[in-house]
Structure 1
Amino acid sequence: MSNDPPVKRRRDAAQTRQDLIDVARHRFAHDGYAATTVRDIADQAGVNVALISRYFASKEGLFEACLTSAVTDVRKNAEDQAAGAEGFAARLAGHLTDPAGDDRLRTGLLLLIRTSGDERVEELRSSFLRMVSEKLLAGAGHPITDEVGVLRAQMLLAAILGLVLLRSTTGMKPLNSASADELQGPIADLVAALLNPRV
């Protein structure tokens, strides 16, 4: 039997930080900001709760990191707008309907929908929603200084968020059971109508 002390496994700080964001995104999106505690998040991630303060300073800081992560995921999808409404619609429809796939986009969109009851967090959420709208607009090749365009992008975002919310919380048919192929055409029509309107 060896008398050597047990070898401590080095913690990967970047992975731990990402694990905390992943758990927090899901908890904030499904349980809400107020109902989610930092201890819940740390326990589910399998880390000491003090690491949340180390990496994010506070629960609000962790929520902001989750919003940043969600916007990054939405932005990746919005960039498909450069290839046209069909490419964007195909990717979005795939994310919304693949139960075995990565639900990061769905969870991120749900996170953007949930109100927190905290004024500062609501300001953050509002600014991030504006940023997502601008990304959708820029992805369609329009300047983000165009307020009419921003309004159209916000209407598109509202429709996408409504689609996510209804599919996630209701059994409404045929919306809830529609396949990616069935969703793609209507989403493309919606994108084209709002961001590439006929003049």
Structure 2
Amino acid sequence: MTQPTRRKRDRAATRAALLAAARARFTLVGYDATSVRDIARDAGVDATLIFRYFGSKERLFEEVARAAEEEAAVDAEGSAADLPTRLLHAAMKQDSPGSASGPLTALLLSSGRPECREQLNSQLHETYVRNLEKLVDLPDRELRAELLTAWLLGINVARAIAHTPALSDACVDDITPYFEQVAAILLGTPGSESTDER
């Protein structure tokens, strides 16, 4: 009688392990350079289970990207006052020390694929730009929100793709004070030294 429960638990654990391994791989090298064998080996299971649970590598990638998007959306919820800092923390989330693997990284590394580019564009606009725009009470709010989003994206690129030494070694707490100063200026929030009243 306990056997079905154990199988169900094993299935859920295996599926979770495949998702975690896929996210790590896609984040490390992108979609095209990742094979189902790599993912299965990292998860410690047979590669056929990827097709059983997800149907294809493409569907597995879609699920990883969707989970990352939902995660970023949750990170964007809360008070407006610390939204830029929460978005920075979301963009720099790490699965393991010394490896940048935030929710945008897998999409960035796979942006040669049209569907990944489209998903990246959607996530940047819906999660980052639209939420940051709400903090700006100036005529050029969209430009300011996009500039700050571009900096978030640049931080991910520098850490995960270009591997620039100082940014790659920095933790989110090292970067936060600088990011908050620039965010205050761009968004025209109290405490910024911007005198631009356009």
Fold agreement, TM-score > 0.5: yes
Shift of 1:102: 11
Residues 37-85 of structure 1 show CA distances to partners (whole Å, capped at 9, x for unaligned) of 11221122122222222222211111111111221222222224x3324
Identify the residue that residue 106 of structure 2 maps to in structure 1: 111
Identify the residue that residue 89 of structure 1 maps to in structure 2: 85
Q: 1:193–1:75: structure 2 CA closer, same or farther, 3 Å change rule?
A: farther
Aligned equivalents of 1:178, 1:60: Cα separation in 2: 33
RMSD: 3.6
Aligned equivalents of 2:124, 2:12: Cα separation in 1: 25
Identify the residue that residue 10 of structure 1 maps to in structure 2: 7
Identify the residue that residue 192 of structure 2 maps to in structure 1: none
Aligned equivalents of 2:117, 2:48: Cα separation in 1: 25
Residues 113-163 of structure 1 show CA distances to partners (whole Å, capped at 9, x for unaligned) of 113544xxx2244234323421224434739xxxx7565544333311211
Q: 1:177–1:49: structure 2 CA closer, same or farther, 3 Å change rule?
A: closer
1:129 and 2:121 are equivalent in the alignment = yes
TM-score (norm 2): 0.69
Aligned equivalents of 1:192, 1:84: Cα separation in 2: 10
Q: Is the 8 A contact 1:34 1:117 kept in 2?
A: no
1:170 and 2:167 are equivalent in the alignment = no
Shift of 1:91: 7.0
Identify the residue that residue 3 of structure 1 maps to in structure 2: none
Aligned equivalents of 1:83, 1:171: Cα separation in 2: 31
Identify the residue that residue 186 of structure 1 maps to in structure 2: 178
Q: Is the 8 A contact 1:25 1:107 kept in 2?
A: no
1:37 and 2:35 are equivalent in the alignment = yes
TM-score (norm 1): 0.69
Q: 1:17–1:27: structure 2 CA closer, same or farther, 3 Å change rule?
A: same
SS at match of 2:7: coil
Identity among equivalent positions (%) equals 32
Aligned equivalents of 2:147, 2:61: Cα separation in 1: 25
Aligned pair count reads 182
Q: Is the 8 A contact 1:140 1:196 kept in 2?
A: no
Of 154, 160, 173, which aligns to 2:152?
160
- The code of the aligned residue for 2:158 comes to L
**Structure 2 unaligned runs (5+)?**
190-195
Aligned equivalents of 1:195, 1:65: Cα separation in 2: 33
